[in-house]
């Protein structure tokens, strides 16, 4: 069973740490104002939130569900628990460890 204990391992294996008890979050882009405060507050050991084109995304395999991005950080409350999450699309994986990765 994959471990996914470090951020690099989670990125390489594209798996969520099985010990995390909280579900990951997702951003509702129809409500998001692209202020990037969630991105700035995501702890670097998780590093789950990215600007992806005009969208702001949360890669569920990297999101621990810690809630550091939630209000009052998010001024419009557009971040929701995603209990039925599905694996991130392949094109989202160009963001972690890519040239624009804000957590490096």
Q: What is the pLDDT of residues 55-66, one digit of tens each?
A: 999 999 999 999
* Domain definitions of the chain by residue range: 7-94
The yes/no answer on whether domain 7-94 falls in CATH 2.40.50.140 is no
Tell me, what's the pLDDT at 3? 72
27 contacts: CB under 8 Å, gap ≥ 6: 38, 49, 55, 56, 57, 58, 78, 79, 80
Q: Specify the length of the chain in residues.
A: 104
Q: What is the pLDDT of residues 3-51, one digit of tens each?
A: 789 999 999 999 999 999 999 999 999 999 999 999 999 999 999 999 9
The values of phi and psi at residue 5, to 5°, are -80, -35
What residue ranges in 1-104 does DSSP mark as E strands? 25-27, 49-52, 55-58, 79-81
């Amino acid at each position: 069973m994959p471990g996914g204990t470090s951020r690099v391992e989670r990125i390489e294996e594209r798996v969520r740490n099985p010990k995390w008890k909280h579900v990951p979050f997702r951003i509702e882009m129809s409500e998001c104002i692209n202020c990037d405060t969630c991105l700035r507050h995501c702890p670097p050991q998780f590093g789950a939130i990215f600007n992806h084109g005009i969208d702001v995304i949360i890669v569920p395999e990297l999101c621990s569900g810690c809630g550091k991005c939630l209000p009052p950080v998010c001024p419009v409350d557009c971040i929701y628990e995603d209990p039925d999450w599905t694996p991130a699309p392949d094109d989202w994986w160009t963001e972690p460890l890519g040239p624009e990765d804000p957590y490096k």
